[in-house]
Structure 1
Amino acid sequence: MLNIIMKLIIIVVIVCALVKCNAISLDYYDPGSDFYVPPDNDSEEDSNQAVNTFLQPPKVQIMLFYEVFCPHCRTFFTETFSPVLAKLGRYLDIYTYPYGNAETVEKNNKIYFTCQHGPTECYGNKLHACALDIVKSNTRALKYNICMMKYSNSNQGSDDNAADKCGKSLLIDSTPIKKCAKGSRGTELLKLYGEESKKADFKHVPHILINGVKNDGKHFMRDVCAAFAEPPSECRDILRRTKLQRKMKQNWLMRTRMVPVFLICSFCVTLANSYTILTDVSFNDLLDEDLPTADVDLMHFIPDKTYTEQKLNIKLFYECHCPGCREFETTEFKKTVERLNDYLDIQTYPYGNAKTEEHDGKVEFKCQHGPKECYGNKLHACALNIIKNHTAALQFNMCMMESSQENRGSDDKAADKCGANMRIDSRPIKSCAKGAKGIELLKYYGVESTKIGFQYVPFVLINGVEYNGENFFKDVCKYFSKPPPSCMGIEN
């Protein structure tokens, strides 16, 4: 009897030891994750070990490409990047590039810049570049630039007034920074940032890279913490919450696996009864249906395919002077419209990141690229309203955005040129854009755009799902269970 009791005691001790060891190991590493999670340092020994571990953690590299007047850049810098800099700045290797979608032009040994939001943005970019060059502490320079982007005055911040105010609050002399921005050094720096930005080959700003990997910025703090091989203590709570969320998701998945068998059987019976509906589809046809192969990009592949009898819905939100929008519409989108128009239900919204303001019964618009873009958006809206053939209206608008058009296109001259080429009378379109109807239409497109809540343009929805692919025509073809003839021969 005594021997049995001793054996039981030994078994209990072994089991307890195993449980304890497993509990400790789980504190340090989550099998479902790729990153280290530090323990609750209950003992002095654990505490000393944690201090030694995080004394010199390998730094995470952050690269941010932006332009100072871009609304989404300002929001990201002041609301998302700023707290990360404050909390984790000493663990980060940060590079910022204040250039964005600008263009550098060299003529007669002189350098000129064309910026998305005009000459004042070019000067603002130079202020940021000069601050990074002159302020010795990179962290202080970043805080100074973030401060300049916070001022929501009529000039959108990042000007001499903002430079002076931020210099005063951060005890930084703004005089040499402004002098640099107005001189050859500012030009030299901005040209350098332009060269580095072109190498990154982005279409939208802010363009964010964490350790060289593109990031959407939606969960920036969490993603930065997850990028550490050995996260600092400041990341502990963030990673623990992520770990808890993952476990909750795993538990939910486990519960869903416990679906009663009778529900599965009920589905099978329903499926069998529905067979009578498929009178025109043979069982072999169903077996022969193409399945996604291993080389399909699963991030862009959407399983909700449709038959060619049901048109694919595409919604495109854009602004007519946005370089990325012009490139997309005149290349990939144009190709898709020309080849698949009969199989698509397309709606376009020429408004983008504009703002609608109403004062004393009057409606006014503020567009990212100035009043000319607002008028161009109205031309697009009026073309969609006046030209009876929707495909012709889309082609007319794409024509106005062609790179061959002068002054970014989408103006009266482009409307006349495209009208002549397509045998479309441009006069009623221009009259509409200059009158009350143009205002009414652009206001409507503004309401519809605001409902979506996008952060960049062009913004595309396919059957209501955000599209982020690289080859639009090819990816659209993937949605069809029985692809149209135009999609045949395309590599999966």
Structure 2
Amino acid sequence: MYHPNRAVPIAFAALVAFSCCFAAVLGEDKLNVDVYYETLCPDSMYFITKQLTPAFNGGLKDHLNVNLVPFGKASWTEEGNNVHSSCQHGPMECHGNKIHACAIYEIENTVKPEDQQQRMIDFVGCAMTSFDPEAALKQCAQTQGFNDEFVKNVENCSNSKQGDDLFMKHGQKTKGFQSPLEFVPSIVINGEKSSEAFRNFTGVVCSQIPGGNQVPICKQ
């Protein structure tokens, strides 16, 4: 027998269940994007500022899980408690890589999980417009809404053993992907390196996400 008073709760429960399942499917459909870059590399600067950041902020952020790996073609040696680093574009780049590693770490440990991706793109997208990583830290913190404590923590981290440890962590991830790294930046989408993504990131992403032809940025 039909019971009107029971129909609404049952229908509501069905709707909630459908919504949860639909959200789970959307989450599973996100593309995992690893970006292996270095802070003073012109090609890295081009990709992050002209491809990744505009695509992320232009309508693709809900379709992406971005992992930024600031290391590139760097290397290191350990001597006791000391870590000696070497980078393709010199010591300033090594320090820049540590600044980015520390900034990413700080964001991951102080920002709500749902906001972390956006805040990492905010900071790194801004910082990669400059060839002076230290100046970019302060300038981008100010323009992107990070407080003084963020700057202080990143500075302390990048000049300490913690910075060395994070530098090596990103180095190990990079070498686990490819050693030596053939090209910087290397863009890896769902485990597959994509050379095309370097100059057409939006197009590559749109071709891989379900229903990509219905996403406004993909129609441009």
Give the TM-score range, shorter chain.
0.7 to 0.9
Tell me, yes or no, if structure 1 residue 395 matches structure 2 residue 111. Answer: no
1:413 equivalent among 110, 135, 147: 135
Identity of aligned residues (%): 28
In 2, the alpha carbon distance for the partners of 1:409 and 1:397 equals 13
Equivalent residue in structure 1 for 2:205, among 463, 472, 476: 476
Given the alignment, which residue of 365, 368, 379 partners 2:99?
379
Q: Paired residue for 2:78?
A: 358
Is 1:489 paired with 2:219? yes
Shift of the alpha carbon at 1:330? Answer: 0.5
1:462 aligns with 2:189: yes
**1: CA distance, partners of 2:152 / 2:49:** 23
CA displacement at 1:380 relative to structure 2: 0.5
The within-5 A match list for 1:239-254 is none
CA contact (8 A) 2:77 2:84 kept: yes
2:206 aligned partner, one-letter code: C
Query: How far does the alpha carbon of each residue in 1:27-76 deviate from its partner, in whole angstroms, 9 at most, with x for none?
Result: xxxxxxxxxxxxxxxxxxxxxxxxxxxxxxxxxxxxxxxxxxxxxxxxxx
Once residues 443 and 315 of structure 1 are traced to their aligned partners in structure 2, the CA distance between those partners, rounded to angstroms, is 17
Distance 1:367 1:375 in 2: 9
- 1:487 shift after superposition: 3.6
Does residue 333 (structure 1) correspond to residue 62 (structure 2)? The answer is: no
Task: Name the SS of the counterpart of 1:478 in structure 2.
Answer: helix
Which structure has more RCO (C-alpha within 8 Å, separation ≥ 6)? 2
Query: What is the distance in 1 between the residues matched to 2:139 and 2:62?
Result: 27
Answer yes or no: is the 8 Å Cα contact 1:308–1:482 preserved in 2: no
Look up the SS of the partner of 2:48 in the other structure: helix
> What's the counterpart of residue 423 of structure 1?
145
1:452 aligns with 2:151: no
Q: Equivalences for 1:50-61 in 2 at 5 Å?
A: none
Retained in 1: the 8 A contact 2:45–2:128? yes
The alpha-carbon deviation at position 488 of structure 1 amounts to: 4.4
* Matches of 2:70 and 2:88, distance apart in 1: 12
Q: Are the counterparts in 2 of residues 401 and 409 from structure 1 also a CA contact under 8 Å?
A: no
Q: Which amino acid is the alignment partner of residue 118 of structure 2?
A: T
Which structure 2 residue ranges, 5 or more long, are not aligned?
1-17, 19-24
1:164-179 matched pairs, under 5 angstroms: none
Q: Is the 8 A contact 2:38 2:93 kept in 1?
A: yes
Distance apart, 1:390 and its partner CA: 2.9
8 A Cα contact 2:74 2:86, kept in partner: yes
CA shift for structure 1 position 480: 1.4
* CA distance, structure 2, for counterparts of residue 373 and residue 446 of structure 1: 14
> For the Cα contact (< 8 Å) 1:340–1:486, is it kept in 2?
no
Cα contact 1:384–1:390 (8 A) shared by 2? no
Asked if the contact 2:202/2:218 (under 8 Å) is kept, the reply is no
CA RMSD of aligned residues (A): 1.7
Question: Aligned runs of 1:195-214 on 2, under 5 Å?
Answer: none
Partner of 1:180: none
Name the counterpart of 2:159: 434
Gaps of 5+ in 1: 1-279, 281-306
Contact 2:73 2:87 in 1 (8 A): yes
Q: Which amino acid aligns with 1:476?
A: V
Q: Which residue of 1 aligns with 2:10?
A: none
Matches within 5 A, 1:192-231: none
Higher helix share: 2
* Inter-CA distance 481–390: structure 2 relative to 1 (3 Å threshold): closer
Structure 2 Cα separation of the partners of residues 340 and 308 of structure 1: 13
Task: Determine the C-alpha separation between the residues in 1 that align with 2:60 and 2:132.
Answer: 26
User: Residue 488 and residue 366 in structure 1: after superposition, are their counterparts in 2 closer, same or farther (change >3 A)?
Assistant: closer
Measured in 2, the distance between the counterparts of 1:436 and 1:361 equals 9
Instruction: Give the TM-score taking structure 2 as reference length.
Output: 0.77
Q: Which residue identity lines up with residue 186 of structure 2 in the other structure?
A: F
Deviation of 1:308 after TM superposition, in Å, equals 4.2
* Number of equivalences: 180
Separation in structure 1 between the aligned mates of residue 164 and residue 174 of structure 2, nearest angstrom:
15
SS at match of 2:219: coil
Q: State the alpha-carbon separation in 1 of the partners of residues 65 and 143 from structure 2.
A: 25
Which stretch shows the higher mean deviation, 312-321 or 329-338? 329-338
- Does the 8 Å CA contact 1:384/1:394 hold for their aligned counterparts? no
Deviation at 1:373, TM superposition (A): 0.4
Structure 1 residue identity aligned to 2:99: L
Distance 1:462 1:308 in 2: 17
* Separation of aligned partners in 1, 2:189 and 2:93: 26
Which amino acid in the other structure matches residue 71 of structure 2? Y
Task: Give 1:350 shift.
Answer: 0.0
TM (normalized to structure 1)? Answer: 0.35
